[in-house]
Amino acid sequence: MVHGETNHMLTDEEMFLFLMNLVRIDTNSKLRKNYREIIEVIRDKAEELGFRYFVHEYSDEKGPLPSILVWPDVTADVNLILLSHYDVVPADKTWVLNGREFSPFDPIRVNGRIYGRGAADDKSAIALSISTLDRVREHYSNGGGLRYKPIMAVVGDEEVGGKGVFVLAEKGFKEAGIKPDNVLVIDAAPSFIGVGASGVVHGWIKVKGVSGHAGRPFLSKNPVHAAILVGNDLLTTFSAHMASKISSIPSPPGSPVPKLWGRFSITMMEGGSKHNVIPDEARLGFDVRFIPDEDKEKVVNELRAFVTNLSVKYGVDVELELEETMNPGWRTDPNSELVRVALNSYKKHFGEERIAASLGGNDGFVFASQGIPTISLGTIEEESRAHSSLESVSEDVVKKVRDTIVDIIIT
């Protein structure tokens, strides 16, 4: 831990330049790329601004997975964890905006937006969290009161299942001597205060066949053909089954139904190596988003039973292979004090009170499952194109989210 002193308060422009520096570091979650490097950059910024910090070191068979906690030297009875993540999904080598080519890891600013991989999801959250700590400290040093002591927590591997936050919750907070009394997940949309998030199940549906020459298909058993039939059934019957499950929590603004609902998608297809060769296996990658009111194991068992029935129906060997996401979804009592305070602050900066559950999953599940009051608010708009080419974040939204969080913390 380090504690220094600074009389300089971070300007908005410095916050955005810090964000762009973070984007320049390719923290590809698939490769655990540059994880230590970005932690060092955050640590250096904490030292520069005179904040205390604690780096939690962890490694497994995939390599290093460090986390960092940062906080100002202020006092309050209750802690509020400002949770974000530094890892990003992979990006293409070149993006094109208005005829201009650029690397997704060499961000550009156009018309009040910052473009680059991770600009919205989730490095803007890191930058605005640092700025939040700075403004809270300034308020405190001028005699202002605090509802919460803010503690910034930045983890890795959120995009591939949430192991980073799980390790921090199990070990890191204890080693730092910090109790997570309340949690604000800054990895969401700015259009509502999140009081829940969808659960996630990922995996593969493998269809086995008998390989052979495409000129003699009658001597083979084509798994690609069978996979098309299996996929069609999944996208009609099972998808409709998931959609029939409705949460008690509102959906985000702009959703096709008023309450959060279950979803099933096929997101990948694999099979075959040459046009004239019938392969012996085809695979369908899938994504399930289930409502937080529902048990994850129940959803998995329903999918498993459905896949088994398809195996019988089409007379093929169909296997379900799950990839552990560790994310069962989460929800918080909408009448809790944290939600009430957050809604008051949100109305001040966004004009109205809105609560909803996130359509995507996020790391809040680790804390909500322990009974810790958890909410979410972030910078990821539909226009942000998170996980896509030309990902971007609005500078105005970053400032509004930052100012909302400051108002949640101060009195």
pLDDT tens-place string over residues 30-70: 999 999 999 999 999 999 999 999 999 999 999 999 999 99
What does the alpha-carbon distance between residue 164 and residue 327 come to, in Å, rounded to a whole number? Answer: 12
The string of DSSP letters for 78-104 reads SEEEEEEE--B----S-EEETTEEE-T
Give 7's pLDDT tier (boundaries 50, 70, 90): low
pLDDT tens-place string over residues 126-147: 999 999 999 999 999 999 999 9
pLDDT tens-place string over residues 224-260: 999 999 999 999 999 999 999 999 999 999 999 999 9
Give 326's pLDDT tier (boundaries 50, 70, 90): confident
Amino acid at 120: A
Q: Which two tokens stand for residue 338?
A: 């944290």
**Mean pLDDT throughout 75-100?**
97
The pLDDT value recorded for residue 5 is 53
pTM: 0.89
Instruction: Quickly name the fold that domain 12-196+329-409 has.
Output: Aminopeptidase (3.40.630)
| 359 dihedral zone (left: phi>0; alpha: psi -120 to 50; beta) | alpha
CATH 3.30.450.20, domain 199-323, yes or no: no
pLDDT tens-place string over residues 164-223: 999 999 999 999 999 999 999 999 999 999 999 999 999 999 999 999 999 999 999 999
Residues of the chain with CATH 3.40.630.10: 12-196+329-409
DSSP assignment letter at 9: P
In this predicted structure, the answer to whether residue 2 has a pLDDT above a threshold of 80 is: no
Residues of the chain with CATH 3.30.70.360: 199-323
DSSP assignment letter at 260: E
% of the chain residues with pLDDT over 90: 94
Mean pLDDT of the chain: 95
